[in-house]
Amino acid sequence: MEVKLLPVLNRQLVSLDRLRGADQLGEEFVRSLKRTYQTYSGDTNRYALIRELLDLYDILLACRPRMANLILDLQKTLIFLAEKENAGVLDLSNFTDSLLRLKKARMDRAGEAGAEVLSRGQTILLHSHSRTLKFILEHAVGKVELPDVIVAEQDQNKTTRLMISLKRCGYKFKVVSEYSLSHVLEELDFALFGALTLDSHGNLIVGPGSSALMCQLSRARVPVYLAITTNKLSFWEDSFDAAFSELRKKERAGIEYEKQVFSHDLIPLDVCKGIITERGVLTPPQMRMVFDKMQRAFLDREKLIRSLV
Amino acid sequence: MMFEQVVVVSVFTLVFLAIITEKLDKTLVALFGALFLISTGFIEFEEAVDAVDFNTICLLMGMMLIVETLSEVQIFRWSALKLGLLTKGNPVLIFFLFGLSTAVFSAFLDNVTTVLIIVPLVITLTEGIGLPATPFVMTVIFLSNIGGTATMIGDPPNIIIGSQVEHLTFMSFIQYLTLPVVVSSLLVMLYILYKNRSTIKSRNSSFSWLFMSNLMLEDMYCELEELKIPRSHAVKSLSIFGLVLLFFFSHNITHLEPSVVALSGAVLMLIAFHKELNLHHLIAKVEWPTLLFFAGLFVIVGALEHAGVLKIVSHSLVSITDNFLLLVLIVLWASAMFSAVVDNIPFVAVMIPVLKDLLSSGAFSHEPKSQLIWWALALGACFGGNGTLIGASANVVSVAIAKTKGLTITFKDFLKDSIPATVITLLVSTAYIVFLYYL
C-alpha cells in the first residue's frame, strides 16, 4: 500500500463527495478507472492488473469515511478479472461501461419507486439534497400528480440546490426553517430524506440535522421515507467512522472555544416507514433482509479477492 | 531652492520608506505626501494636476474594468479548466502548458489577475495527483512577471513607460521585448524543470497515481459541463476584448492613445452587459486605491522635477560614464536590483523624467540608440520583480493563495529559485541589449 497516496486520495474523495454527492462521485470514479485502463503504460497482463486494483482497493478501504459504492464497484471489477481468463484492458473498459449502465438502470428503478411514493401525498417535507432524491423528484414529473413541498431550510448551499431542483421541475414549494417545523407538521403527509449509507449496526448515516428532524417527525407520526440505492450500503462488520469529525478552534465575544463538527448524523433504520431503493419501497425489516443477503455476498467476494494474490 | 529640494526629497524618501516597511497603506502615504507638497506650495495645484499621468491611470482603469467583466462572465475559469484538461494530468504538460499560458495571459492581463486564475488550479491539479506544488507555483510566479514584460499593458512599469515616453507604441514594445521575454521564459522553465527532474515526469507507469490524476480530470470535466457560459456572453466579451487588442496593435494607424482604447473597450463591455451584470458592482471592483496611489506618486515625482532634483540625478548619472551602452546596462541591472526589493512603480516613475532629461541634453542627446534605455528600464524593472518574494505584487498574492491551500513558501524558499531565475533573465537581457546596440 502506498502510504503517500492515501492522504491525497482520501482528501480528494472527501472533497468530491462533499461537492458532487456520492452518486456522481461513483460515476466519476468508474469513468476515471476506464481512462486509467486506457492510458496506463505499465504491465497490463491480468495478474498485474489484479495486483494494481487490489492495491487501490486497500487504499480505498483505508480511506475515512469509507465510500461504500466505490469499494463495491472495485470489488466487482476484481471479481470480473478473477473470473475472466485472458481479460485485458479492453475487457476492463467494457466492464466499466456495464457498471455505468447498471448505475443508470438502478437510478431509473429508484426513480420509479420514488415517483410512486410521491403520488401518495399532497404535501411533503424535504430536507436533504441527495442525487437520488433529486432524480426521484425529476422522474415524477409528468408521471404523477406532483405534491406541494415544504423545504426544511438548513445549510444555505444545500437549501439553494434543493430549491433549484424543485423550481426546475415545476414543484410548488415554500421554505420553513428546520427549527420551526413544529408549526407545519399537521400539513405534512410524509417526509422524504436522502442518506449516505446504512451500516451493519442498522444505523442510517444521514445529513447533519436530519436525525433530529426524523425523530421529531416520527414522534408526530408523520411517515418518514428514505431514498437510498443498495450500492451505497456499508457491509463491514468492524466499526468504522462513516461520520468523521473535526475539532475546530473558534472565538466569539472574546471567548475562545472548541467546536466539534460532525460530517453526518446517525439514526436507526426503524424510524423510517419505507426505504425507496431500486428494488422498490422496502419496510425496515425487508431492508434488513436485503442488507443481510447482500452482506453475505459482499463478504464472500471479499474472501475471493483476498485469495487472488 | 536647496531648502525646497531637501523638503521634496525628504517627503519622497519618507513615502518610499513607508511603502517598503508597509507600516501604513501605500495609497494613504502617497496621497498624504502629494497633498502635503501641494498645500505647502512646493508644487502648485495646476502643476500637480499636469503631473498626474491620466494616460496611465485611464489605461489601468479601462483594463481593470475589462478584466473584471471577463472574470464575472467566467471566461477565465473556463479557460483555466480547459487548460487543465489539455494537460491530461501529465506533470510535464502541466508544467509547460501552465507556465507558457501564464506568460501569454500576463502579457495582456495584469499579473495579479493572471496568478489569481492560474495558481489555485495549479495547486489543486498538482496536489491532487500527489506532486509537490512548489516548483509549479514558482514557475507560474516567474512567468507572470516575465510574460508581463512583453507588452505595454502587461505590467505597470511598462504602462507608465509607454504612456510617458512619446515615441514608444504598443507595437514597439512587442517588437523589441518579445524576443528576450520568450528566451527568458524558456530558459527559466528549463532551469526549474532540470532542478526538479525527479518529480516533474510522467506518471503513466504508476496505476494508482494515474488513476488519481484521471479522477481529478473527470471532476474538471464535470465542472466544465456545469459551467454553462451563455454563448452570447462569450461572444460579446471576447469580441470586445479582441477589438481592444486590435486597436492597441494598430496604434500607428489609428493614433488612438491606449488609455482611450482601454476606456472605450471598458464602456463597451459595460453597455454589452448592463442587463446581466451589476454596473455599480463592476465599477466598485476597480482598484481605486491603486489608481489613487499612482496619482499621488505622480504628484510627488512632479514636485521632484519642479524642484530640480531629477536634473541633479540625471547629471550625476552622466558623470558615472560617457559610454552609452554601459549606462544602459547600469540602468538595466540597477532597475532590476531596485525592483527586487522595493516597489518598481515609484522607481520607474522617478527614472522616466531623469532619463528623458539625460537623453535630451548633454553627451547622449544625439545617441542613435537612445531607445535602448527604455527597454533596459522596462526589462530591469519587470524582470527584477522576480528577485525576491516582495519584488512584485504577483509574488505576494501567489504565496498568499498558496498559504490558504496549505502550501508554505518562505522568503528563503523563494530566493533559492528566484535568484538564479532573475540572473538568467538579466543575462538574457544584457546579451540582447548588447546585440541591439551593435546591430
Return the number of CB contacts < 8 Å for A and B: 66
Among the ranges given (B117-121, B122-126, B198-202, B362-366), the one the predictor scored with the smallest mean pLDDT: B362-366
Query: How far, in Å, are B94, B95, B120, B172, B433 from residue B167 at the CA level?
Result: 40, 38, 39, 9, 19
Distance from the Cα of residue B195 to its chain's centroid:
26
**For residue B343, pLDDT beyond 50:** yes
Tell whether A50 and A117 lie within a shared domain.
Answer: no
Number of domains comprising chain A: 2
* Average of per-residue pLDDT across B428-439: 95
In a domain, A207, yes or no: yes
* Contacts with B128 from chain A: Cβ below 8 Å: 8, 12
Output the average pLDDT for chain A. Answer: 89
DSSP A98-132: HHHHHHHHHHHHHHHHHHHHHTT-SEEEE----HH
* Average of per-residue pLDDT across A198-212: 87
Question: Which spans in A205-245 are helix H?
Answer: 210-219
Tell whether A114 and A260 lie within a shared domain.
Answer: yes
In a domain, A309, yes or no: no
For residue B376, the one-letter residue type is A
In a domain, A307, yes or no: no
Tell whether A173 and A288 lie within a shared domain.
Answer: yes
* Contacts with A29 from chain B: Cβ below 8 Å: 215
Tell whether A133 and A270 lie within a shared domain.
Answer: yes
Query: What does the pLDDT read at residue B201?
Result: 83
**For residue A3, pLDDT beyond 60:** no
Query: What does the pLDDT read at residue B1?
Result: 63
Query: What does the pLDDT read at residue B254?
Result: 85
Tell whether A40 and A151 lie within a shared domain.
Answer: no
Edge-first strand listing for the sheet containing A280-282: A173-177, A148-153, A123-126, A190-194, A224-227, A274-277, A280-282
Q: Which among B129, B208, B219 has CB closest to A55?
A: B208
Query: What does the pLDDT read at residue B230?
Result: 86
Query: What does the pLDDT read at residue A224?
Result: 95
Query: What does the pLDDT read at residue B27?
Result: 87
What's the CATH code of the domain at A269?
3.40.50.10470
**For residue B161, pLDDT beyond 60:** yes
Tell whether A238 and A253 lie within a shared domain.
Answer: yes
Of A106, A122, A151, the last residue of a domain is A106
In a domain, A283, yes or no: yes
CB contact under 8 A, A12 and B218: no
* Average of per-residue pLDDT across B234-247: 91
pLDDT tens by residue, A277-296: 999 999 999 999 999 999 99
B128 touches chain A (CB under 8 A): yes
Domain range enclosing A230: 110-294
Query: What does the pLDDT read at residue B287?
Result: 85
In a domain, A306, yes or no: no
Query: What does the pLDDT read at residue A1?
Result: 38
Q: Is the peptide bond before B135 cis (omega within 30 degrees of 0)?
A: no
In a domain, A305, yes or no: no
CB contact under 8 A, B215 and A59: no
Tell whether A24 and A138 lie within a shared domain.
Answer: no
Query: What does the pLDDT read at residue A2?
Result: 42
Residues 130-159 of B with CB under 8 A from A: 130
Q: Are B407 and B134 in contact (CB under 8 A)?
A: yes
CB contact under 8 A, A39 and B214: yes
pLDDT tens by residue, A148-159: 999 998 778 778
* Residue scoring higher pLDDT (A196 or A95): A95
What ipTM, to 2 d.p.? 0.86
Tell whether A141 and A228 lie within a shared domain.
Answer: yes
Tell whether A118 and A48 lie within a shared domain.
Answer: no
Tell whether A49 and A192 lie within a shared domain.
Answer: no
* Average of per-residue pLDDT across B208-232: 87
**For residue A202, pLDDT beyond 60:** yes
Of A57, A74, A106, the last residue of a domain is A106
* Average of per-residue pLDDT across A248-268: 88
Q: Name the range with the highest mean pLDDT among A244-248, A266-270, B144-148.
A: B144-148
CB contact under 8 A, A32 and B215: yes
In a domain, A280, yes or no: yes
Tell whether A95 and A35 lie within a shared domain.
Answer: yes
* Average of per-residue pLDDT across B351-355: 90
In a domain, A163, yes or no: yes
pLDDT tens by residue, B421-433: 999 999 999 999 9
* Residue scoring higher pLDDT (B1 or A233): A233
**For residue A263, pLDDT beyond 80:** no
Output the average pLDDT for chain B. Answer: 89
Q: Which among A12, A52, A53 has CB closest to B215?
A: A12
Among the ranges given (A46-55, B80-89, B228-237, B311-320), the one the predictor scored with the smallest mean pLDDT: B311-320
pLDDT tens by residue, A246-255: 788 888 999 9
Among the ranges given (A183-192, B119-128, B134-143), the one the predictor scored with the smallest mean pLDDT: B119-128
B212 touches chain A (CB under 8 A): yes
Query: What does the pLDDT read at residue B244?
Result: 92
What size, in residues, is chain A?
Answer: 309
Q: Which among B209, B214, B222 has CB closest to A5?
A: B209
Of A81, A106, A131, the last residue of a domain is A106
Tell whether A157 and A214 lie within a shared domain.
Answer: yes
- pLDDT confidence tier of residue A54, bands split at 50, 70 and 90: very high
- pLDDT confidence tier of residue B276, bands split at 50, 70 and 90: confident
